[in-house]
Chains A and B, each alone.
Chain A
């Protein structure tokens, strides 16, 4: 079964850190770009970060640059998001997704159910 399962969310104080994980199964993870997308309570979707198949290329939304780091372990079919210097505005459900790049087609076709991050004192 094709699946992505996020974990690692929770309550953290402003300025704190959290590491999210995403376990992939049912597809060739090592050949897939991956993404993190978040959704603040009652708000729309916001793309956060992308990582290339081999981890050699990363992209971030400006609001998390320098604070968040996307990484992966292809041997363990796992994606990560290290979040430092967390702010209240980082409070959201965080989804991992497979990002397909098959020119001219680009899309996110597999999504996890999300993990909730709450930044509050």
Chain B
């Protein structure tokens, strides 16, 4: 199975901060990597697919990039509504797998 290691698992940040979350795959996944945002008690919401394509309706402060087996989600200027947990997911091979999540909290 392909393992996805997210870091950090928790981060504390302020409104306006630039935030970077990393997801490292245990083997090559050809950019078949998506990012989701989840708020407490709610379903996940797709933010980025295929490593860097912004889902329709998602603010442009969210961006994704890839370098080999390392993937990055960046929030350029953190907004109050962005405090949530973020997950990466690989869709290269079954079983599809998620990273462990990164919880972004208010400093």
Contact = CB atoms under 8 A, between A and B. Distances in A.
Nearest to A95: B43
Interface stretch (A67-75, A81-89, A107-115): A107-115
Interface stretch (B15-23, B68-76, B92-100): B92-100
Contacts of A37: 44
A47 interface: yes
Interface size class of A (residues with CB under 8 A): 20 to 34
A60 B95 CA distance: 7
Nearest to A109: B46
Contacts of A54: none
Interface in B1-45: 30-32, 34, 36, 38, 42-45
Interface string A32-71: 0001010000001111001000000001111000000000
A108 B32 contact: no
A104 interface: yes
A114 B36 CA distance: 16
B100 A95 contact: no
B87 interface: yes
Interface residues on B, range: 20 to 34
Give the residue among B42, B44, B99 with the most A Cβ atoms within 10 A: B44
A102 B95 CA distance: 19
Contact of A106 (B44, B49, B87, B101): B49
A106 B43 CA distance: 18
A108 B31 CA distance: 15
A105 B53 contact: yes
B46 A108 contact: yes
B101 A44 contact: yes
